[in-house]
Amino acid sequence: MDRRQAVDLGEFGDAFRRDPHPVYAMLRERGPVHRIRIPDAAEDYETWLVVGYEEARTALADPRLAKDGAKIGVMFVDQALVGRYLLATDPPQHTRLRSLVTRAFTMRRIEQLRPRVRRITDELLDEMLSPGGGRADLIAALAYPLPLTVICELLGVPEMDRTEFRKISTQVVAPTDPESESEAIARLGEYLTELIEDKRRSGVTGDLLGELVRTTAEDGDRLSPEELRGMAFLLLIAGHETTVNLIGNGVLALLTHPDQLAALRADMSLIDGVVEETLRWEGPVENATFRYAVEPLEIGGVRIEKGEHVMVGLTAAQRDGARFPAPDRFDIRRDARGHLAFGHGLHYCLGAPLARLEGRTAISSLLERAPGLALDGPHDEWLPGMLMRGLRTLPVRW
């Protein structure tokens, strides 16, 4: 493909941030893979973007597309400041790291969290729905504090200033500028270094981070301090930011599709369908983190040269009509299996069961306790960047 034909996504302006789906649909009509220029990048940064479903699914599992940028001489600021983590490694390092963390991140542990997730949700709704209210920002009142509280308790992170942490976390996943991103990552890295050392000294068990500090594989392998910091960074950030968006996007979808909301209210057993269709229709991650071609390959008839960067468009792929009929329709009875919201292959999200549990609990509890829930003002301020797909605020009333 002629590189002069790169599509400059910045030319679509704010409309692309508010609603990227028409742009992705236009690209899919032209082909499954495109050279694009990322909007608001520090430089005119170009990469390949995969927008077709089958091509995206294949690319997510293709070993020729490495996650470790060091293989082609790339090191992003987060890895430099906090260390390598699962999303930035390949086998055998990825296999080793994942096996060590999986020992502590089990389905049994997630199931044990169910009553606690429900209690935290009830407490947040008690506060939000207290007499004399009647309106709130759902992101600040429920979608953000629920997963943050759960992941902090799971990891064993002391209760921190949520307002301050939200600023740091948002700058990491949806930075407004490179300098703020670097500062946020550095601050979080310093905090985690101190926390891990406290865990090591105290020897207290019972939380995930403490277990990771002491986890030893059968061959005696353990996580290094740098690996522990990188793992904690990933679990803390990915463990709540994505679920914030899942809850917010799911409630917004229901409130803007009254027929689907009515169907759910009539049959709350459809809640699983709501979560899965939200993940497909407006998933929390817009594009997977970069992959790097370690050898020439072809995707969707397009040649990718060694050393080039590839971004897999999860949001774009999940509106591919070749895989999901009437893809722009939000349908909670749809069979949404096969969506790519949690990735595919080796890097499939470890936290998927926890995200689903929190999404089901938050949305169903909210609707049960706020029967008159409705939108209460503008809801078009979406997070910047092309990584996350979520709202800054979601004003509601009841």
pLDDT of res. 97: 87
As given in the structure block, the two tokens for residue 345 are 């292959």
Lowest model confidence (mean pLDDT) among 20-24, 150-154, 265-269, 374-378? 150-154
Please give the CATH topology (third level) of the domain spanning 3-397: Cytochrome p450 (1.10.630)
As given in the structure block, the two tokens for residue 200 are 């090591």
Q: What is the mean pLDDT of residues 169-189?
A: 81
In whole angstroms, give the CA distance from residue 302 to residue 372.
50
pLDDT of res. 64: 97
Judge whether residue 62 has pLDDT over 70: yes
In the block, tokens 């290094």 appear at: 224
Residue-wise pLDDT for 111-131, tens only, equals 889 999 999 999 999 999 998
Domain ranges of the chain: 3-397
In sequence order, which residues have a C-beta less than 8 Å from that of residue 170 and are 6 or more positions away? 241, 383
Lowest model confidence (mean pLDDT) among 63-72, 126-135, 217-226? 217-226
Residue-wise pLDDT for 248-274, tens only, equals 999 999 999 999 999 999 999 999 999
Lowest model confidence (mean pLDDT) among 227-236, 257-266, 352-361? 227-236
pLDDT of res. 189: 86
Judge whether residue 161 has pLDDT over 70: no
Judge whether residue 2 has pLDDT over 50: no
Judge whether residue 396 has pLDDT over 60: yes
Say which residue, 294 or 380, is predicted with more confidence.
294
In sequence order, which residues have a C-beta less than 8 Å from that of residue 389 and are 6 or more positions away? 245, 249, 282, 283, 284, 285, 286, 315, 382, 383
In whole angstroms, give the CA distance from residue 228 to residue 196.
8
Strands 297-299 and 302-304, bridge-based pairing: antiparallel
Residue-wise pLDDT for 305-314, tens only, equals 999 999 999 9
Lowest model confidence (mean pLDDT) among 174-183, 223-232, 250-259, 368-377? 174-183
Judge whether residue 42 has pLDDT over 80: no
